[in-house]
């Protein structure tokens, strides 16, 4: 093996330091790029979540309106059903009209004059 001279060792150390410096610069650039990506990614996520919250609030309002409409329809149909049942029951409970019924016959009784009391004629005797 050959002995290294001081200059060769210094040159190799300088080369290694230069290589490390470029590696560090690349790592620093990658870290800066990653940091920027993370920051913009979180900003995008915040924006997306804000949009989702807005959409959810709109959907809640629509659902509430839909529920109110359903309740109105159920109450309306219920009242209409009760009214229909009442009307049908009123139509079926009517008594038959009086004009169609035959009136009871009128019976007139005339008192008979009492016949004079007659005594039987005497039987002739012979």
Consecutive H or E run containing 35: helix 6-92
Max mean pLDDT range (24-33, 60-69, 106-115): 60-69
Q: Quick one: pLDDT at residue 120? A: 66
| Residues 28, 22: Cα–Cα separation, whole Å | 10
Is 80 exceeded by the pLDDT of residue 119? no
Task: Spell out the residues 6+ positions from residue 4 whose beta carbon is closer than 8 angstroms to its own.
Answer: 12
What average pLDDT does this structure show over 2-21? 84
Determine the pLDDT at residue 9. Answer: 83
Q: Which two tokens stand for residue 8?
A: 């060769």
Query: b vs e for 54-79, b when ≥16 Cβ sit within 10 Å of the residue's Cβ?
Result: eeeeeeeeeeeeeeeeeeeeeeeeee
pLDDT tens, 46-103?
999 999 999 999 999 999 999 999 999 999 999 999 999 999 988 887 665 665 567 7
Q: Where are the beta strands (DSSP E) in 15-87?
A: none
Residues 18, 26: Cα–Cα separation, whole Å: 12
Q: What is the pLDDT of residue 44?
A: 93
Mean pLDDT over each residue of the chain, to the nearest integer: 86
Residue 51 and residue 57: Cα distance in Å, rounded? 10
Check residue 101 and report its DSSP letter: S
pLDDT on residue 115: 63
């Amino acid at each position: 093996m050959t002995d290294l001279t001081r200059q060769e060792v210094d040159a190799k150390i300088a080369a290694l330091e230069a290589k490390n410096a470029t590696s560090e610069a690349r790592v620093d650039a990658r870290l800066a790029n990653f940091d920027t990506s993370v920051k913009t990614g979180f900003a995008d996520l915040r924006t997306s979540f804000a949009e989702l919250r807005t959409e959810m609030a709109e959907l809640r309002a629509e659902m509430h309106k839909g529920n109110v409409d359903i309740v109105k329809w159920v109450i309306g149909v219920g009242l209409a059903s009760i009214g229909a049942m009442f009307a049908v029951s009123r139509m079926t409970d009517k008594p038959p009209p009086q004009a169609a019924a035959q009136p009871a016959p009128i019976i007139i009784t005339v008192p008979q004059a009492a016949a004079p009391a007659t005594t039987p004629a005497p039987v002739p005797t012979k």
